[in-house]
Amino acid sequence: MSGRGWFEPSRPVRVEGGIRVRSRRGSIGERWWSRRFVDVLERVCDPGRLSRGRSYARSGQVLELEVGPGLVTARVQGSRRAPYRVEIGVEAYGEEEWRGLAGALAAQALYRAKLLAGEMPPEIEGVFEERGLPLFPGEGDLEMDCSCPDRGFPCKHLSAVLYVLAEAFDDDPFLVLAWRGMGRDTLLAALREEGGAAGGVSRPGPLDVADVPFAERMADFYQPGVSPARLRDRADGTDAPPDLLLRLLDPPPIKARHIPLLDLLRPAYRALAERETADGDD
């Protein structure tokens, strides 16, 4: 049988409602963590198939994407009628390993604060490396499989899913950690618990105001019992994060482009707060 019979034609079946990456040209991935992932792919994978995979990702050939502990599953529409099944596996760390990681992250107040605010500090990669647990997969760490007949590594369907995954990491950095075995809610709960146990979450205590009988305060009753300087210091140390309301309320069960609405609102709230601060400085 000729080699042509084993491979699909280059023109895929067009689909509606697929997952399209936002990047229309150039590189895919905007944040440092998604770029680290893409850099790994482009270093170890066939450039030609990655290029065709980018075209698939931009035209919406990836129909669905699911990220779970140690496994990404997807369906990709190629040139045949039935979509191909794609699986991308990576080592998911166990409970004991994550307990150590959560403790190490919680011990650093800055890392903990950024993660609780929905951000991924660049230093987090070093925390993983110090414990011998890489955050991002290296060469040979990914187990990839596609139901298509192309035996290239990776095929264009796998490449498309890898790029869609990278942009999903852009939108939600916690997907990187969920792929390694720890979901967002579980990790944040562990950080709060570990931080509280370590005394890392500091809250101001009650004001020390003397309780003096009213009869003895007739002359200075309307004077503050605490100096304005102390009140100002307390106010400066207890600024509420701009997305505090989003943390307190139950998230609505709504998604846009397969992304929870809460993950889209959180950076918007932070951007509004930064703009307000900038306007105040002017």
Q: What is the pLDDT of residues 33-80, one digit of tens each?
A: 888 888 888 887 888 888 899 999 999 999 999 999 999 999 999 988
Per-residue pLDDT tens over the stretch 138-164: 878 899 999 999 877 789 999 999 999
pLDDT at site 247: 59
* Residue 282 banded pLDDT, cuts 50, 70, 90: low
**pTM, two decimal places:** 0.66
**d(Cα 10, Cα 84) in Å, to the nearest integer?**
15
Alpha-carbon torsion (100, 102, 103, 107), positive or negative? positive
**Confidence at residue 129, expressed as pLDDT on a 0 to 100 scale:** 93
- Give the pLDDT band (50/70/90) at residue 113: confident
Better-predicted residue by pLDDT, 180 or 120 = 180
Looking at the predicted structure, is the pLDDT value of residue 238 above 60? Answer: no
Portion of the chain with pLDDT greater than 70, in percent: 71
Predicted local distance difference test score (pLDDT) of residue 138: 83
The amino acid that residue 52 corresponds to is R
pLDDT higher than threshold 50 for residue 235? no
Q: Residue 76: its pLDDT value, please?
A: 96
DSSP code string of 88-125: EE-PPP-HHHHHHHHHHHHTSHHHHHHHHTT---TTHH
State mean pLDDT over 104-111: 87
